Each structure stands twice: as C-alpha cells, then as structure tokens.
Structure 1
Amino acid sequence: MTHDVVIIGSGFGSLTAAALLARQGLRVCVLEQAKYPGGSSTSYKRKGYWFETGATTLVGLDADMPLRYLLDQIKVKLPVQKLEPPMQVHLPDGQTLTRYGDFDAWIREAERVFGPDNQRPFWEHCYRISKQVWRTSLQQQSFPFSNVKDLLLSWLRARPAQLKLIPGAFRTMEEVLGKYGLLQNKLFVDFVNEQLLITAQNSMEEVSELFGATALCYTLYSNYYVPGGLINLVKPVVTYITNAGSTIQYGQEVQYVKPQQQGYEVITQKETFRCTYIISGVPLNNTANIFQDARVQQRLQKYIMPSEKLNGAFSMGLVLKRKEPLPVVLHHQVHVPEGLPFIGSKSIFISFSHPADASRAPAGEFVASISTHVSHPELHQLADKEQLEEAILTALMQKGIIHRDQIISVQSATPGAWIFWTKRAFGAVGGYPQYKQIKPWQMKDARLDHKGAYVCGDTVYPGQGIVGVCLSGIIAANKLLQDHF
C-alpha cells in the first residue's frame, strides 16, 4: 500500500505533524520502533507501575503557544490538573526556592532568596521576550527560511514586535545578567545555569537571550499534571490520527529510506512501505544514517552534533510508600554543588506522581521519576550504577524530599539504556543544546531534500521540551502543505 506520508518515529513532534496532515485528509502512516507511542514524551509500564519515559512537566496550553494551537486545530481536550506552584528548587545554601506561577508571587520569592536588586526588571524583561517569542513562532511557520517562498511568506507575516526580537539572537544570557548587574550574585548565577541546563541544555555563556529568556520563564506559564502519566497526553492525539483514517504501526524500526523517482521507500526490519512524502521524527544523527541519499547526508553534516556537544541522562524510577505529609509540590530540582560521582552533574530533577492519581501505582504507593544530565554520553555508559544511585538518593534524602524507609524499589537507566530503548544516537536526550554561534536562522530547516522529505523533533528548530517539539511538528506539516498543496 502507498501512503501519502510516512512519518518515522512517534515522538510528539511526529504525532503533531501526523495529526495536522491527517486533518487535511492525507493518509499518514507513523512507524514506531517501540511498543508505546510518544517517544520521550510518554510513559511506560513496568511491574504494574507507570513511569515517565523522559519529560515529566507539561507546559504549552496557554494562548499563543504551540500545544494550545495543535489541540484547538484538532479539537482535542486533555485530562489535566493545573499545578500551583509548579516547582521548587533546593539551592546550595540550604534555602528552598518556590517557583510560583503567579508573576508577582514569583518576584517576591526571587527577591527573598536572591535579594531585591534588579530581580523584578530582569524577570519582567525575560517574561516579555518569552511571550513574544511564542507568539512569533506561531506567526512565522515558514521559519527558518530555505526557499524564496519562505522569505515572501515571512515578510508578509512580519510585525514590528517580531523585528524587535532580532538583537536577542546576538546576546547571551550572560550578557543579559550583566546588563542587570546580576553576575556578581553567585547564588543567582548558579540557579540560572542549572535552570538553563534543564530547558536549553547549556549554560548562560552559550544560550542566547531569545532561547534563554523563554527557557527561564516556563514556570510562569500554566504547568499541568496528566493523570496516568504523559501517555495520556499522547493517547488522545493518537486516537485523533487513527479516527481520521491514518495508522500507527509499532515494532517497526526503520532501517533505510530510499528515494524513488516518485516518492520514497521506507524499509523496516519487517517490511517495505511506500509513500509520496516522508517526515523523519528521529534525531538528525539517526536521520543521516538511515537516509540513502548522498546529497541529504552531505547537507546534514553541518547540523549534526558529536557526542561531546550533547547531553545524555542518568534516570531513575522509584516506587515509594505513601508517607505523611504527602508532597504538595510535584517537581523539584536539587542543586549538588560538589557534583555527582562519575558524571559531575550539579543538579537532580525529581517528579512525583500526584498523590490522588491511583492509576500509576496501587493504593498506599506512588512513583517518582529522577533524572540528571550526563555530558558526552558516548563516554559515559556507566556500567557500575550503584554508587551514582546512592549519591542521588542521599542528596534527595538530605533535603527531606524522600525518606529511606519509603523506598520500595529502585530502577535506573544510563545513556546506554537510552540507546537500547530509544535507538537515539549516543543515548542523547533533551534535544540539541543551544550554542551562541548558532543563530535561529542557522538551525535546521524542516526540509531534508527540497522534494518531499522533511524532519521534525528535538534536534531541529526549535526542538526541546514538549512545547518546542510540538512546534517543530507544526512547522514540518506547514512546510509540506506549503510546498505541495
């Protein structure tokens, strides 16, 4: 059978593109190598418990944000619970910082912890930029440019407020902190760097003002918990796709893509699929390996990042006994200034299942997902995990976030396990880090061969996080439709 579009991978960027194309009446076939949809934005079941695969926080349902746009387009509603406050950060000096969603409450908290000097103007500046970045991203779905039509459409959609963002592509967050006299505030600098590492995969010296301001402000937007885990973010979109007459096939690991005179052949370990158009939703490193077109591979080389520029993750899943008091705040970041053994990571992120959510664990129990960054993941496969596990648990217990007598079971995964589960090159997760020499218009455009092949996911513009990956799928679908319909 020949499909209109084959999409490789069922990450949230792929599902976004599939839903928007199916809405236009195209016959889409999504090929997923695993047994669950969603990629790093989903959940998996182990021994009766549901753990998050990668992402644990849900942002993007506010006006002018990509996830809101997608759900409005396909008329899907999500079963979500709003979190307030979204998160707490446990700082090296022993203070606990609450990241309130209400702007004024957050400013009062930031001034309490970091001092009153320039906190309000700094955060007002970042929040203003972040709102304009999200608004512009949806207005400029032909960006980055890679043909004349892109330029024309972007010019027609240009607004004065968009042009004001351009200087922010040339400033780093380090320069922004310097502008507000905050570089001498070491506690604040450390906080900013660890927050940027979660959201932009790099530090203030490398992350531009555009990406950095947006990354720092994610807790100032509505944050949600999805009962049952993020698999229940994915399922309604999958249902929409299949109800629209398209398909998702599991256990279909793509080996090669062969361009044909008309369309493409997609070869998995089981069978061959034929299509007129194709979208790769897997990382650019993987895309280059499977796409049998010398020109595509050559074009991709300047975008592909080696392991030393990427981040992997060491992740843990805990099953815990319910113990009073139950966690009020579900997401915590713990700073570890001395660094963790073997990997040197200086922060840990832990997310709890909601105490009222009985679908992820039996009565009297709940689960937690833990992650920390692993730089240069190809070098850190970490065969001996016990010492690192113990260091992470000790740091969490010292902050009173968990207690030893609560722990029922522990499982952990290294970058090597990420390669096994997800097939992602090097076991890298979280998308491509932001680097100051790469401006937004220099990031990978959605087109692969300027014929019928496209790409989306967390390694292309803009990538990173559910909301960014959703935007990458919107852009890929828009450019396919713009080029051919």
Structure 2
Amino acid sequence: MQYDVILIGSGFGSLTAAALLAQRGLKVAVLEQAKYPGGCASSYKRKGYWFETGATTLVGLDEHMPLRYLLDVTGIELPLLKLDIPMQVHLPDGQLLTRYAELDDWIKEAERVFGPKGQRAFWERCFQISQKVWRTSLEQKSFPFSSVKDLWQALGNVRPHQLSLLPGAFRTMEDLLARYGLLDNKLFKDFVNEQLLITAQNHLGEVNELFGATALCYTLFDNYYVKGGMIGLARALERYLHSKGSAILYRRNVHTITSLPNGYVVNCLAGSYQSRFVISGIPLNDTYQLFQNDQVRQKLQPHLLPSAKLNGAFTMALVLRQAPAIPVLHHQVHVPGGLPLIGSSSFFVSYSHPADSERAMQGERVVAISTHVPDPAALRIQDKRQLEESIIKRMEGLGLLKRADILHLDSATPGAWIFWTQRAYGMVGGYPQYRDIKPWQMKDARLDHKGAYTCGDSVYPGQGIVGVCLSGIIAANKLILDHF
C-alpha cells in the first residue's frame, strides 16, 4: 500500500511527527511491532490491571514547551490530572525531601535539607537556564544543523537569549555545583546525581549545564498524571491520526528498509509497504540494522553507542490492596550501599492515582518501580528475587507499602525489555548525556538528505517524553522544510 510517510515504531517521537505531518495533509502509517501504541511511554494490561511500560511522569504543557506546541497545533486533548506535588525523595540519611512545584517553596525545602549555602543561587540559575532552553528549542526547530536550509532558518530565528546559552554547552553540572560552593556537600551531590540519572541518564561530571539544569528543573514545571495510564497519551494521538485518514498498524515487525529512486520500501514479516518518506522512531542502534543503504549506515556509525555506555532497567509491577494513603504519586528512593547484583543507588516508584478507577479497582493501587542496570548486555540477573526482596524491604521500612498488601508482583530484567520493545541491549531512557558530545554533535533528524529521517530518545535532544516530543517536531519540520 502506498503512503506519503511511513514511521517505524509508535514511540512518542514517532506519534508526534505523525500527527504533525497528518495535520499537514500527508497520509501517514505508523508500523508498530507490539499490540499497544506508545513504545516506552505506554501501558499494558495484565490480570485486569493496567501497568506502565516505562515512563510514568509527564511534563511539557507549559508555555514554550514541546507538548504544548503539539497540542496547540493539532487540537488534541489529553486525559490529564495535574499533580500538586511532583515528587518526594527519600534520601540515604533518612530525610524526606519534597520537590515542590513552586520555585520559592522548593528552594526553602532544599535549604532545610541541604543547608542554605548556595542553594538559592543554584536553583534560580538552573530555573533560568531551563526556561531559556525550552523557549529556544521551539524557536530553533532546525537544530542540529545538517543543511544550508537549516542555517538560513536558524539565522532568521536568532534571539539574544539564545546566545547566552552557548557557554553552558561547554560546562558540566559539576562545574555548576563548584560555582556555588556545593561540591563538598555530599548529600546534595548524591541527590543531584540520582536526579540526573532518571532525567539525563548520567551523572553530574558528564551532563552539560544546559541539559542538566533543564533536567533538574522538570518538577518546577506543571507535572501531570495520565488517567488510565500512559497509554492514554498514545491513544489520543492515534485517534487524531484516524481522524486525518492515517493509522497505526500493529504487529508489523520491520526487518529491512530499502531505498528506491523516489521513495522507500519497508519490509515486515506481514508484508511490504511503500512510501515517499520514512521516519525511524526507534533507537539509532536498531535503525542502523534496518537500513540496507550503505550511505545511511556510514552516517549512523559514529553515533552508535555500545552497551557499556547505555542503561537497561530492572522493573517491578505491583498491585496493592488497602494501599497506604500516599498523596504523592512519585518517589525516588535512595538505597544506602546500593541494590544487590546491580549496585544501583536508587529506584523510582510511581503509584496510580487514587481517583483512577481505570487501572485498578477502588481501594487498590498499581505501582511501577524501576532502577537502572548499567551495561545491560554484560550483566545477567540470575535471581530476581534478591532484587525484589531488597526493594520491598526498603519500601516497607519507609512506609510506602505493606508486604501483606501485595496482591500481584511481576519483575523484569533488560532481557525482558529486549523482548517487549526490541530495543538493542534492552536500553531504556535513551542515549545518556556525555560531556564529549555537545548538543550540535548529537544525531540530527536527517538520515540520507533524500527522504529518510529519525526521531526518538537516542537523537537530539534526548530523554523523556518532552524530549522525544521535540525530536518528533524537529523531524516533521525538517521533512516539510526539505520537500514542501
């Protein structure tokens, strides 16, 4: 069947690009290997409950942010509940830290826990950077540059506040802590490192100031819960695609993409599809395997990362009866001495909203737990029970659950992530930020300068739903810029 654009994978980057291109009148098909849309920002049903596949938090609807742009352009509405308090952090010394949504409230809390030295100046600087970064990201939709058209478009959109960001690309978060005298504050350093790990996939010595400050401030923007689970996000975009005569086609496991003189053939086990344009929304390591074009593979080669530079995940899915009255849905829990087998220093916990009857019965709570597994290809977790027990014991000690209330428990290693998502090494969270890879050195949206593009969490700008949303905006923008 002939389409204008075929997109590989239904992650949120792909869905964003698909919606924007369909809004422009193009006939779009999204090929998804699973039976649910959303990729690593979705949900799955088991034993009557809806569990989150990966991502559990949602930001990006404030002014000058990518998700707000997508919704404004398309008119899509989402089933959202706004969170009053985005997160709490259980620190290794036993203190409970509340990440308030208002900047002044958060600074007072940070000063209470970490001491007053440098906190106000540090957080005001980070918040200022994050506001400029998001504003600039939508003003410069042709970044990173890979054509003359990109440069011309960028020059026409240059604003003074954009230029002030440039030095931050050459400084790390470690430099920023040093500037405010915070490097000798071990408790604060541990906090920052674990917060960066869940937002930028790396630690303060590697993450540059622009991405790091923005990542640390995501709780200072409006945070939302998606009613019914994260799949509600993908379903809303799927309905929009159907309204525009486009579709998501499930159980389409793509194995090769072949170039034609004026288009592409996308080959699946279920058949072949032809289109004028193609967008890969899967990681670069997997995109590399699909394309039969040597030119595309050569251009991708320098951007591929080995397992040793990536993260996998160990995840747990719980159902609790008579769940404790925990008003804050998201918790980062530090683990003194680290978790057994994998050494992770923290894990992330997300509860279903008590008002959400679509995911669990009244009085029950669905809980998603995740932690990083470094170099997933090199680590084989033989006995998951050790990890499960360590996490449950830590949560029970903090009053986050009672063991007797566990109705259901599943856990999964990076091997399960390979099976579920087909992502190389079972990678989660996208490519980590590294100090030797500047923003303009990250892979841009073009694959061959003919009609092939890419988006997702392994290209600019990187991690998180709001990041992959921006990557989809950029891919759609460059396709339109190049050909219409």
The alignment's TM-score, normalised by the length of structure 1, stands at 0.99
Moved over 6 A (4+): none
Aligned to 2:194: 194
One-letter code aligned to 1:205: G
Aligned to 2:422: 423
Unmatched 5+ residue regions in structure 2?
none
Aligned to 1:393: 392
Distance in structure 2 (CA, Å) of the matches to 1:252 and 1:383: 32
Deviations along 1:277-330, one digit per CA (max 9) or x if unpaired, are 000000000000010011111111110000000000000000101244x11000
Distance in structure 1 (CA, Å) of the matches to 2:472 and 2:246: 17
* Matched-pair contact (CA < 8 Å) for 2:3–2:29: yes
Aligned to 1:183: 183
SS in 2 for 1:481: helix
The alignment status of 1:119 with 2:119, answered yes or no, reads yes
Unmatched 5+ residue regions in structure 1?
none
Distance in structure 2 (CA, Å) of the matches to 1:10 and 1:356: 28
Aligned to 1:300: 300
* Matched-pair contact (CA < 8 Å) for 1:284–1:300: yes
Deviation at 1:104, TM superposition (A): 0.9
* Matched-pair contact (CA < 8 Å) for 1:10–1:281: yes
Distance in structure 2 (CA, Å) of the matches to 1:262 and 1:322: 60
Distance in structure 2 (CA, Å) of the matches to 1:226 and 1:377: 29
Deviation at 1:337, TM superposition (A): 2.6
Matches of residues 83-482 of structure 1 in structure 2 within 5 Å?
83-324=83-324, 326-482=325-481
SS in 2 for 1:97: strand
Distance in structure 2 (CA, Å) of the matches to 1:130 and 1:406: 41
Deviations along 1:45-69, one digit per CA (max 9) or x if unpaired, are 0110000100000101111000000
User: Which deviates more, 65-74 or 375-384?
Assistant: 375-384
SS in 2 for 1:357: coil
Deviation at 1:380, TM superposition (A): 2.0
Deviation at 1:107, TM superposition (A): 0.8
One-letter code aligned to 1:401: L
Deviation at 1:235, TM superposition (A): 1.0
Deviation at 1:215, TM superposition (A): 0.3
Matches of residues 44-83 of structure 1 in structure 2 within 5 Å?
44-83=44-83
* Matched-pair contact (CA < 8 Å) for 1:266–1:272: yes
Distance in structure 1 (CA, Å) of the matches to 2:400 and 2:35: 33
Distance in structure 2 (CA, Å) of the matches to 1:481 and 1:111: 48
Distance in structure 2 (CA, Å) of the matches to 1:382 and 1:47: 25
Distance in structure 2 (CA, Å) of the matches to 1:349 and 1:198: 8
Deviation at 1:400, TM superposition (A): 1.2
Deviation at 1:363, TM superposition (A): 2.3
SS in 2 for 1:189: helix
Distance in structure 1 (CA, Å) of the matches to 2:125 and 2:362: 45
Distance in structure 1 (CA, Å) of the matches to 2:418 and 2:380: 10
Deviation at 1:410, TM superposition (A): 0.7
Cα RMSD of the aligned pairs, angstroms, is 0.7
Deviations along 1:446-468, one digit per CA (max 9) or x if unpaired, are 00001000000000001210000
Deviation at 1:442, TM superposition (A): 0.4
Deviations along 1:129-183, one digit per CA (max 9) or x if unpaired, are 0000000000000000001111111111111100000000000000000000000
Deviation at 1:364, TM superposition (A): 2.5
The alignment status of 1:2 with 2:2, answered yes or no, reads yes
* Matched-pair contact (CA < 8 Å) for 2:323–2:365: no
Distance in structure 1 (CA, Å) of the matches to 2:323 and 2:259: 57
Distance in structure 1 (CA, Å) of the matches to 2:234 and 2:280: 18
* Matched-pair contact (CA < 8 Å) for 1:463–1:471: no
SS in 1 for 2:318: strand
* Matched-pair contact (CA < 8 Å) for 2:323–2:401: no
* Matched-pair contact (CA < 8 Å) for 1:327–1:355: no
Distance in structure 1 (CA, Å) of the matches to 2:128 and 2:228: 34
* Matched-pair contact (CA < 8 Å) for 2:310–2:374: yes
Pairs aligned (count):
484
Distance in structure 2 (CA, Å) of the matches to 1:216 and 1:227: 25
Distance in structure 2 (CA, Å) of the matches to 1:269 and 1:323: 44
SS in 2 for 1:408: strand
Distance in structure 2 (CA, Å) of the matches to 1:104 and 1:379: 44
One-letter code aligned to 1:53: T
One-letter code aligned to 1:423: Q
Distance in structure 2 (CA, Å) of the matches to 1:445 and 1:66: 17
SS in 1 for 2:303: coil
SS in 2 for 1:59: coil
Identity percentage of aligned residues: 64
The alignment's TM-score, normalised by the length of structure 2, stands at 0.99
